[in-house]
Amino acid sequence: MHADVLFPINAEAFTYIVPEELESKIKPGQRVLAPFKRGSKVGIVTGFGGDKLKGKEIKLRSLKSILDEEPLIPGNLLKLIKWAGQYYMSTSGLALKNALLSAFFTGRKPGKARVTYDETIKESKEFALTQEQRMALTEINKPENGVFLVHGVTGSGKTEIYIKAIKALPDDKKAIVLVPEIAITAQMVDRFRSRFGDEVVFYHSGLSTGERMTQWQKMRNGEVKAVIGVRSAVFAPFENIGLIVIDEEQESSYKQFEGLRYSARDVALARAKLEGIKIILGSATPSLEAFYSAENGKIRYLELKQRVERRPLPQVEIIDMTMEDKQTFSFSNKLIDSVRETISGNKQSLIMLNRRGYSPFPICTDCGYTYKCPACSITLIYHKDTKTLNCHYCGSHLVQQALCPQCKGTGIKYLGAGTQRVEEDLHTLIPELSFTRMDRDTTRKKLSHYRIVKQMEEKKIDVLLGTQMVAKGHDFPDVTLSAVVSADITLNMPDFRSAERAFQLFTQLAGRAGRGDFPGRALIQTYEPEHYVFDYVRYHDYKGFYKKEIAQRKELFYPPFSKLIRIILSFKTRETAKKTVKDISGRIKRIDHKGIEILGPAPAPIEKIRNLWRWHLILKGKNSRALRRTASLVLEKIRGVRNIKIDIDVDPINLL
């Protein structure tokens, strides 16, 4: 008897002999200990592959032991892992590595579940369903499976639809609820716990490894009804799923940017199709691809045009920073006056600057020297709290010196602003203000997101300042003002999706205001007030924006009118890159790529990351199979080239 064993490495399954004493016990999905190279390795049994070895002279090794009495991974999840490896032109081993915690392969025991959130379950306020909510639920609860796009304005009660749809599932059916950020899980936790109690678990990196192992086992044993989690929760080991919910389906954080470059949103869609279940895509600002599919009848469209209790959407004002009086680089007088007015009315504000750190552009004004990351082709960002110059790509940092490293002068200035500088400005301008900063630097500790959200809910904070974390999913009834400090950061990314992302982010942030009994307003500061995005943000006009943007996408033959595959080529030196790329260009010219457009190879917009010089090829085509076939031919031609690292990104969401 032979068993196929998959390891969490960049490879497909290996075949082993099953010793006679293990034949009656071994099952797909179990962990086994297998000899590997000169040692042993823990892997997962995926099947029994004796047939493919018939007539072949191959010397096989025997398995050492079985580590689980019952399978750790159910069969439906094994199929999904295989699909993900194939679809993303990678391997099943890398897909397994993303699906299962590494601790399961190191012999670690599940941790004792500690209380990670408030022990007392607070009753969340239930509103009477609006007619639009009732109509949406009626459609979702019909027996037919399929994909539903719930397009509801901010504050229209999409979460209530998710909860009631899960409640309507048969007792034996389970649900997965995906959210894009850990920060969003904080309020979801309370909403779901008040309805489901201990029947819901949470699965994200904010929990310890031991706790996540415990949650996995609860899901695997069928002890819970639902899981709420970020990207990796799409691989939840439920055998009998009835529904998957993807909240804020448009968010880029569902995409993984290293290793297996999968999108949890698209893996969830594939899982729903493989298992024949329902899936809800929810958003106030759907991705153009999702809305296009709904417009063309490929998925079912459910619209919520009204906020709960018919509350008005916030008024949005675009502030022209070229004309406006301002007290600091970051703040117009109008925004500071509005914050003061909000505090005096015992209300709260959200302020977003989508750039962390203190200064994004440290420079010596004596000689013009700029601080670049030695490993990446980007400017270092000064962090005042640690007095370091940090790279947000590779994680390296330099300790800031008093003298310029080039001219030894003292004229070092910090231009531009990050969240730390804005925090400092706020403290100077409104010293009596009680505020907290929420970005990656302040939320590294366990449950820090949850604690900050709780402080806002308990009105211990006047202003919550942060990166895009503050713009998504939060429901604070006393927030009547939301503001963007510098809209231009998001508008000017060198990517075909930059306008879409800007519209989504500004609209989402504006929608955090006025969700309680008092109307809200949003102020957006920009040096480009004439940009067409603001024509639609001002009126929360998603459909108008979609109409303009989809016309441009069609003209340029970008998604959803085409599919993309990006092949990233990395080299140790710039010289090697230039010489090798010439060779690669010659090789791929001979490929018959009828109907598929091959752009490049060309230097990537961020040319150097982690000491590797990066070039890329973009493959663009309408037919997915033809596109993948051409990509495979390109990879065949490249794989013989020495001194090169190759990464494949199927359906890339940015081209940086």
DSSP 303-339: EE-S-GGGPPPPEEEEEETTTS-BSSSS-BHHHHHHH
pLDDT, residue 567, reads 94
pLDDT, residue 53, reads 63
pLDDT, residue 207, reads 82
The residues near 512 (Cβ < 8 Å, ≥ 6 apart) are 154, 350, 470, 471, 474, 476, 479, 482, 520
pLDDT, residue 365, reads 87
CATH: 3.40.1440.60, 3.40.50.620, 3.40.630.30, 3.90.1150.10. Which one for 2-105? 3.40.1440.60
* Token output for 253: 């954080």
CB 218 within 8 A of CB 201: yes
CB 251 within 8 A of CB 472: yes
Identify the segments of the chain with pLDDT beneath 50.
115
* Token output for 19: 């010793």
CATH architecture of the domain formed by 311-357+417-554: 3-Layer(aba) Sandwich (3.40)
The residues near 21 (Cβ < 8 Å, ≥ 6 apart) are none
Q: CATH 3.40.50.300 in the chain, residues?
A: 131-308, 311-357+417-554
- 219 closest CA partner among 206, 202, 242: 202
**What would the pLDDT profile of 426-440 be if each residue is shown by its tens digit?**
999 999 999 899 888
Q: CATH 3.30.70.600 in the chain, residues?
A: 563-650
* Token output for 448: 């820090």
CATH class of 563-650: alpha beta
What is the three-state SS of 587-655? HHHCCCCCCCEEEEEEEEEEEEECCEEEEEEEEEECCHHHHHHHHHHHHHHHCCCCCCEEEEEECCCCC
CB 279 within 8 A of CB 269: yes
What is the three-state SS of 51-84? HHHCCCCCCCCECCEECCCCCCCCHHHHHHHHHH
CATH architecture of the domain formed by 131-308: 3-Layer(aba) Sandwich (3.40)
The residues near 608 (Cβ < 8 Å, ≥ 6 apart) are 375, 376, 377, 614
CB 248 within 8 A of CB 281: no
The span from the CA of 171 to the CA of 214, in Å, is: 22
The span from the CA of 228 to the CA of 210, in Å, is: 17
User: pTM of this prediction?
Assistant: 0.91
What is the three-state SS of 263-301? EHHHHHHHHHHHHCCEEEEEECCCCHHHHHHHHCCCCEE
- 559 closest CA partner among 288, 305, 188: 288
The residues near 618 (Cβ < 8 Å, ≥ 6 apart) are 564, 565, 566, 598, 599, 600, 655
> In angstroms, what CA-CA distances link 326 with 319, 336, 485?
11, 9, 12
* Token output for 599: 């752009």
Q: CATH 3.40.1440.60 in the chain, residues?
A: 2-105
CB 188 within 8 A of CB 159: yes
pLDDT, residue 539, reads 94
Assign 438 to helix, strand or coil. strand
User: Angle, nearest 10°, between helix axes 498-510 and 542-556?
Assistant: 170
pLDDT, residue 62, reads 94
174-178 and 241-247 beta bridge pairing? parallel
**What would the pLDDT profile of 198-226 be if each residue is shown by its tens digit?**
899 988 877 888 889 999 999 999 999 99
